[in-house]
Amino acid sequence: MKVGIIDYGVGNLGSIARALESLGVTPVLVDNAMNLHTQDRLILPGVGNFTDCMHLLDKGGWTSALREEVITHNRPLLGICLGMQLLADSSTEGANDAEHGTKGLGLVHGRVMHLSKLGCNFRIPHVGWNSVSSTSGDNHLFQRIPDGTDFYFVHSYVFVAQKNCDVLATTDYGTPVAAAVGNGLVWGTQFHPEKSSRAGIQLLSNFLTGPIC
């Protein structure tokens, strides 16, 4: 099993790599969009700012390459944290155009916006462990993970999916927040599985062993 972590210039790649190593996999840092096809599974990390990250993805040729790998070649992709948000159609984070936001990868339809815009009155960023509930019983990504298990979140923006069926799991932070999304092409987790101890490792294992879509 070849697992590639997309190295487009941001992200705490070390943690993800270590978590995968603990599962017996030796991940590869893919730093060239031309090499995406060499991997069986892809992980898209993300730290920072949506607009800056999309800029890096566009500049490095990643945007079109990723869309091709996923849509045409059915290559499974997991986006983590900002990586999940990048799967959206757009985000207002760091955007010049506040109304339309910055364009994302468009692999899971939806928009990314600030928590406060969804009626959250709690402290922002949403930092810490929060319980995650699967939206359906036969969710492969959450297999062997009991409902309500805590995962580690650290974000200020949230993914608002266009279709409810694309939301695989939710958490509550004053308002329902998409904790995981997936539409058969790609998956994403708002929380950090690589930092969520054993539950996170189980989720990563599920991603690696999941059925190819």
Pairing of strands 110-114, 149-155: unpaired
Q: Please pick, from the candidates 23, 37, 60, 129, the single residue that binds other proteins as defined by CB under 8 A.
A: 129
Is residue 12 within 8 A of residue 45, CB to CB? The reply is yes
Counting contacts by CB under 8 A, is residue 12 touching other proteins? yes
Least distance between other proteins and beta carbon 22 (Å): 7
The 10 Å Cβ neighbour count of residue 137 is 7
For residues 89 and 108, give the distance between their C-alpha atoms in angstroms, rounded to a whole number. 7
Q: Please pick, from the candidates 2, 100, 123, 140, the single residue that binds other proteins as defined by CB under 8 A.
A: 123
Q: Please pick, from the candidates 37, 52, 160, 170, the single residue that binds other proteins as defined by CB under 8 A.
A: 52
68 is catalytic: no
How far from chain centre, in Å, is Cα 12?
A: 14
Q: Which stretch binds other proteins (CB under 8 A): 69-77, 124-132, 182-190, 205-213?
A: 124-132
For residues 193 and 162, give the distance between their C-alpha atoms in angstroms, rounded to a whole number. 24
Nearest in space to 99 (alpha carbons), one of 110, 90, 87: 90
Sheet strand arrangement including 102-103? 102-103, 90-91, 110-114, 157-161
Number of residues located near other proteins, criterion CB under 8 A: 43
Least distance between other proteins and beta carbon 109 (Å): 24
Least distance between other proteins and beta carbon 128 (Å): 5
Q: Catalytic: which of 81, 93, 120, 155?
A: 81
Binding-site string for other proteins from residue 142 to residue 181, where x marks contact by CB under 8 A and - marks none: ---x---xx-xxxxx---------------xx--------
The 10 Å Cβ neighbour count of residue 165 is 11
Binding interface with other proteins (CB under 8 A): 10, 12-15, 18-19, 22, 47-49, 52, 82, 122-131, 145, 149-150, 152-156, 172-173, 192, 194-202
